[in-house]
């Protein structure tokens, strides 16, 4: 069974690099991201056009390619949590986290007993159809499955220590644009209040043994945040890469 390739890295303080799958509804995306050298990618099921069948196929190819596939779910709904994990996701991100109830609920739904309440179906894609000892399977799944709290609200920053103290939360990933909107300065991700909030995520995450992360399209800014302590670096998206690559090539042709 394919083991999560980034789980150990984030727990030992290593930096991992990934991107967002926003528009492409083909499993080819998993292969492309693997060839590019990313450690992981995240399927955006909050804003993206993905139905469950499409997600299942993308996850299947990702696992075959040995790249860690994650999913951003729409909201805290058991069917979304269990469905995506059974389909092969190796971690989930919950958007719009505001309180400890959100993170406790996420972990409860994601983990099998005795940690959580997830229902058991071992003959599904998340087992890679390798049927071995059931206790070992449960233990491996509970260990390998990554729970991510997306920090994109002012209230989440205010409740951050309690939120990230939830046992089982592995990553606190900042959404800078939504965070700037929450602080009343939409799009100003370099506003002093927003910067201070992001720095607090790094500080509190590091103190509590949670890996701090951030998602941005600007490579220079990502590098600056990595230097400040971000360890989960999510760069751009399939749509961003397509637009930027097309614009740069067309500009070069016309110059």
Joined tokens for residue 241 = 């890469």
Distance, in Å, from the CA atom of 64 to the CA atom of 210, rounded to the nearest integer, reads: 28
Non-local (6+) Cβ contacts of 38 within 8 A are 17, 18, 19, 67
**Which pLDDT value is given to residue 204?**
98
Residue-level pLDDT at 132:
85
Bridging pattern class, strands 16-21 and 146-151: unpaired
Nearby residues of 188 by Cβ (< 8 Å), 6 or more positions away: 180, 194
Question: pTM (2 decimals)?
Answer: 0.95
Encoded tokens for 187: 């799009």
Q: Would you state the pLDDT for residue 1?
A: 86
Mean pLDDT by 10 residues, the chain (255 residues): 93 96 97 98 97 96 98 97 97 98 98 96 88 91 97 97 97 97 96 98 97 97 97 98 96 95
Q: What is the pLDDT of residue 121?
A: 87
Cα–Cα dist 35/141, whole Å: 26
Sign, CA dihedral 156-158-163-164, equals positive
Q: Tell me what pLDDT residue 109 has.
A: 98
CA distance 18 to 223: 14
| Residue boundaries of the structural domains of the chain | 7-254
DSSP 47: T
Specify the length of the chain in residues.
255
- Fold for the domain defined by 7-254: TIM Barrel (3.20.20)
What is the structure's pLDDT at 194? 97
- Of the candidates 180, 176, 177, the one whose C-alpha atom is nearest the C-alpha of residue 202 is 176
């Amino acid at each position: 069974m394919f083991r999560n390739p980034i789980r150990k890295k984030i727990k030992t303080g290593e930096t991992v690099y990934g991107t967002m799958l926003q528009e492409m509804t083909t499993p080819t995306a998993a292969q492309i991201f693997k060839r590019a050298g990313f450690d992981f990618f995240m399927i955006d099921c909050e804003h993206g056009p993905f139905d469950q069948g499409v997600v299942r196929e993308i996850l299947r190819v990702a696992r075959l390619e040995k790249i860690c596939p994650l999913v951003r779910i729409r909201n805290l709904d058991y069917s979304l949590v269990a469905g995506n994990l059974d389909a092969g996701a190796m971690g989930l991100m919950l958007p719009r986290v505001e309180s400890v109830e959100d993170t406790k609920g996420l972990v409860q739904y994601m983990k099998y007993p005795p940690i959580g309440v997830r229902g058991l179906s071992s003959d599904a894609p998340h087992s890679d159809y390798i049927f071995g000892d059931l206790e070992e399977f449960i233990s491996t799944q509970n260990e390998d499955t990554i729970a991510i709290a997306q920090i994109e609200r002012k209230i989440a920053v205010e409740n951050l220590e309690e939120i990230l103290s939830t046992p089982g939360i592995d990553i606190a990933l900042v959404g800078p644009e939504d965070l700037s909107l929450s602080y009343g300065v939409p799009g100003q991700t370099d506003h002093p209040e927003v910067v201070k909030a992001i720095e607090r995520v790094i500080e509190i995450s590091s103190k509590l043994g949670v890996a701090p992360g951030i998602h941005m399209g600007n490579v220079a800014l990502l590098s600056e945040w990595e230097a400040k302590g971000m360890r989960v670096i999510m760069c751009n998206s399939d749509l961003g890469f397509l637009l930027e690559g097309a614009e740069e090539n067309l500009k070069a042709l016309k110059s």
